[in-house]
Every structure is written in structure tokens, then in C-alpha cells.
């Protein structure tokens, strides 16, 4: 597929571009999908999957969510180094975060609580323009944070008089990895103490500085009789009695429900909505702006596939094959587009759109205070 064909698709009547990839685990057929909190206990973490049938097999399981896939595509765009993320917050020695690294992009609370020459972000000219942007007049977002139009953004982080949620920009690119016909399995987490420490009693004393010593007989007496308090998640009193396991010593044997065996397929499905991109207008840059956004989305997906899918520990996937389809009214046409070709086209396209020069914001004192108090 030539870039001219892509330009024609964005400017024409095509509704979407779909990328489909068939994936396989690098080793065996067991993978570790993402886990989500259950009732609060570590053993109650859950995968996002359909209810297992009578045979214990679920028909569908999420392997990587749309949000996680978007973050991977954003990382690829940052690595390309084209300044597609001109708004950044400088945390000094702790690094710089751009809108392509903030969860809510241009409307993220980190940027909201940052300032430019003493002026809070939402009161700067850039912030005011972003807040006022509409689909028919979206140049402010195109110039300052095109990723918000590709991956979505919601102006929902205002506080005080600005607490009412405002514009919501739906993602144009949706990408997800899922497996079919999966069977939940248990994960063994065993630790055999290399120096032979055993015991499940509260036999150790943990001092406030983290040092350990063996508890005396008096210290092990009940607290009402003058003994030390037992460690618990809520207790912050020191010295306190702890078990060997609490100090990461001793044997630890566990078996928790985590991971799945894949009996079906694993597939990445990404859809770039050209119909949505056509809702956005950027004045005299409308055509070039839409094309830039389309290139960003496609490059992000293809770069993720090209880089390899080591999603997390226990979930390394290989790409068997992939296909790109141009979808229109009643049509689905396979097309060819390479990553290097798209990268070169994206570099050229950036020069056709008036992206804002990089701007460094600084975190407000309040943001730094809240952050430091959480460390």
C-alpha cells in the first residue's frame, strides 16, 4: 500500500483500517493474562474472562486491554523522536513526562497541576485552547497533543469550579489482544529457605530501622501481659513481633489461581476509525492533520508488533502473521504497508502540520508536596 493510497483512504469514504495479527506463546501454551483485584486478598486476583463452561473452559480471555495496548503504541511513538508530544512536565532528576506518557494525556491531573512561568496549565493559552477545542475546531489538540485524538482523552480532571466534566474525545484507535478457549490453571509460588529457617510463630522482633533479632520470652508474652504487639498490615508500632515469613525468611508454599492454558487462538485486533478522524477539522490543515493522525495510529500498532510482545512475566508472544485491511461500505480489501515505509512517511508528514514546539511545564508546589508525602 502506497502512502498515496492511505491519503486517498483518509480523504475518501473508507470507514476504517483494521490490523489483525495471529500470535502464539513463545513457550508452551500457558500464558499469564493481566490480573485485576478481586475482594482485596492477593489470592482473589482475577483475569478478565468469560465465565467457564461445564468443562472448565472460558470462551474468551483478555490478554492485553485496549488501554495497555494504547500505552505500548504511545511508547513506540515517543521512541520515534518526532516531538509528537510537545507538552511535557519536568520533574528534574526524576525525569520528564510527556502527554504520550500521562494516562489522560493533555487532560491528565499531572499536567493540570503543573505550571508555565507560574501560570497553572488550565489558565495558560495552551490550556485554554485545549479546553475550548471542539471537533469542528480541533487545531489546538492537533498542534499540542495529537495523541489525544488518536488514543482518546477526557477533560474530567478539573477541580473546584472546573470539576464538571467537559469534552470527551473518543479514541480513534482501538487495539486489544485476546485468547479464545482458555482454561484457568493454578500458579505455584514456592520458596524453600536456603539456610534452613523454619517456624510459623511470632519469634522475631522487627525494629523501626528494619533490623531483626530473636524475641525474648517476655517479649513473646501477650500484649496485655507486657509483650510486644504483633505485626499486621495496620500496625505501625515498633518494636513488634513478626513471623519469619513476614521478614521474607523461611519456607513459603502457595498455590493460587493464576494463568490460563490456551486451547484456541490468541489474536491482536486493532481498528483505526477513519470515520472518526473525518469528524475532526483543523482549518487549512484538515486533510494533512487527519493523515498525520492515521499514520500515528498505524505506526503505533505495527511498531508494537515489530518490537515483539513481551507483555509481562509469563506472557511472551510471537507474531505468526499479520494483515492490514481497508474497510469500506461492504468491502474489505487487504493492503500492504511496511513499518519503515510508514516511519519515513510520518517524518515527512510532521513537517506539513504546525505542531507546537516542545514546552516544559514545572510541577506546582502542591503536586510536589503530595508526591513527596506519598514516597
pLDDT in tens, 105-144: 999 999 999 999 999 999 999 999 999 999 999 999 999 9
* Domain match, 324 and 197 both: no
The pLDDT score that the predictor gives to residue 19 is: 97
Q: Rounded CA gap, 281 and 140, in Å?
A: 11
* Domain match, 140 and 65 both: yes
Last residue of a domain, one of 203, 222, 253: 253
* Domain match, 366 and 278 both: yes
* Domain match, 173 and 203 both: no
Long-range contacts of 67-71 (CB under 8 A, 24+ apart): 68/34, 68/311, 69/175, 69/176, 69/177, 69/268, 69/270, 69/304, 70/151, 70/152, 70/171, 70/173, 70/175, 70/300
16 or 220: which leads in pLDDT: 16
* Domain match, 317 and 201 both: no
pLDDT cut 90: percent of the chain above it:
64
* Domain match, 150 and 205 both: no
Q: Are 300 and 173 in contact (CB under 8 A)?
A: yes
* Domain match, 74 and 140 both: yes
The residues, any chain, with a CB within 8 Å of residue 83's CB and separated by 6 or more, are: 350, 355, 357, 358
**pLDDT digits 0-9 by tens, 341-354:** 999 999 999 999 99
Question: What's the mean pLDDT in 301-313?
Answer: 93
Last residue of a domain, one of 253, 280, 296: 253
* Domain match, 325 and 204 both: no
Residue 214: strand pairing partners: 204
Q: Rounded CA gap, 326 and 275, in Å?
A: 12
* Domain match, 303 and 370 both: yes
pLDDT exceeds cutoff 80 at 198: no
DSSP assignment letter at 100: T
Query: Structural domain of residue 27, as residue ranges?
Result: 3-184+260-374
Q: Are 174 and 271 in contact (CB under 8 A)?
A: yes
* Domain match, 145 and 241 both: no
The residues, any chain, with a CB within 8 Å of residue 291's CB and separated by 6 or more, are: 6, 7, 10, 11, 349
DSSP assignment letter at 56: S
At residue 218's C-alpha, the angle toward residues 214 and 219, to 5°, is 50
* Domain match, 142 and 66 both: yes
Q: Are 258 and 313 in contact (CB under 8 A)?
A: no
* Domain match, 125 and 243 both: no
Q: Nearest 10 degrees: CA dihedral of 191, 35, 171, 97? A: -30
Region of poorest pLDDT, from 28-37, 158-167, 354-363 = 158-167
Q: How many domains does the chain have?
A: 2
Last residue of a domain, one of 253, 269, 291: 253
pLDDT exceeds cutoff 90 at 15: yes
Amino acid at each position: 500500500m502506497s502512502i498515496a493510497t492511505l491519503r486517498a483512504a483518509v480523504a475518501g469514504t473508507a470507514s476504517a483500517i483494521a490490523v489483525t495479527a495471529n500470535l502464539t506463546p513463545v513457550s508452551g501454551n500457558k500464558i499469564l493474562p493481566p490480573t485485576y483485584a478481586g475482594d482485596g486478598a492477593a489470592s482473589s486476583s482475577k483475569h478478565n474472562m468469560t465465565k467457564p463452561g461445564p468443562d472448565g473452559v472460558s470462551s474468551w480471555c483478555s490478554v492485553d486491554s485496549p488501554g495497555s495496548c494504547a500505552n505500548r503504541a504511545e511508547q513506540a511513538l515517543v521512541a520515534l523522536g518526532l516531538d509528537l508530544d510537545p507538552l511535557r512536565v519536568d520533574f528534574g532528576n526524576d525525569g520528564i513526562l510527556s502527554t504520550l506518557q500521562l494516562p489522560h494525556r493533555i487532560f491528565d491531573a499531572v499536567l493540570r497541576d503543573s505550571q508555565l512561568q507560574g501560570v497553572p496549565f488550565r489558565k495558560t493559552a495552551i490550556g485554554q485552547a485545549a479546553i475550548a477545542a471542539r471537533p469542528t475546531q480541533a487545531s489546538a489538540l492537533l498542534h499540542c497533543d495529537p495523541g489525544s485524538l488518536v488514543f482518546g482523552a477526557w477533560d474530567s480532571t478539573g477541580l473546584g469550579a472546573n470539576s464538571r466534566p467537559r469534552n470527551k474525545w473518543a479514541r480513534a484507535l482501538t487495539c486489544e489482544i485476546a485468547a479464545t478457549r482458555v482454561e484457568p490453571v493454578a500458579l505455584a509460588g514456592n520458596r524453600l529457605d536456603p539456610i534452613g529457617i523454619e517456624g510459623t510463630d511470632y519469634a522475631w522482633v522487627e525494629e523501626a530501622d528494619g533490623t531483626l533479632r530473636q524475641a525474648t520470652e517476655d517479649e513473646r508474652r501477650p500484649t496485655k501481659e507486657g509483650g510486644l504487639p504483633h505485626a499486621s498490615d495496620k500496625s505501625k508500632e515498633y518494636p513488634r513481633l513478626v513471623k519469619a515469613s513476614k521478614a521474607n525468611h523461611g519456607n513459603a508454599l502457595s498455590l493460587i489461581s493464576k494463568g490460563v492454558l490456551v486451547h484456541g487462538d490468541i489474536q491482536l485486533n486493532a481498528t483505526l476509525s477513519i470515520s472518526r478522524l473525518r469528524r475532526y477539522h483543523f482549518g487549512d490543515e484538515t486533510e494533512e492533520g487527519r493523515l498525520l493522525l492515521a499514520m500515528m495510529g498505524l505506526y503505533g500498532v505495527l511498531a508494537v508488533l515489530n518490537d515483539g510482545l513481551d507483555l509481562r512475566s509469563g506472557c511472551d508472544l510471537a507474531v505468526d502473521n499479520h494483515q492490514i485491511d481497508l474497510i469500506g461500505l461492504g468491502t474489505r480489501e487487504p493492503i500492504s504497508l511496511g513499518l519503515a515505509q510508514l516511519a519515513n512517511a510520518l517524518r515527512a508528514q510532521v513537517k506539513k502540520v504546525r505542531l507546537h514546539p516542545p514546552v516544559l511545564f514545572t510541577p506546582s508546589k502542591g503536586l510536589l508536596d503530595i508526591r513527596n508525602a506519598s514516597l
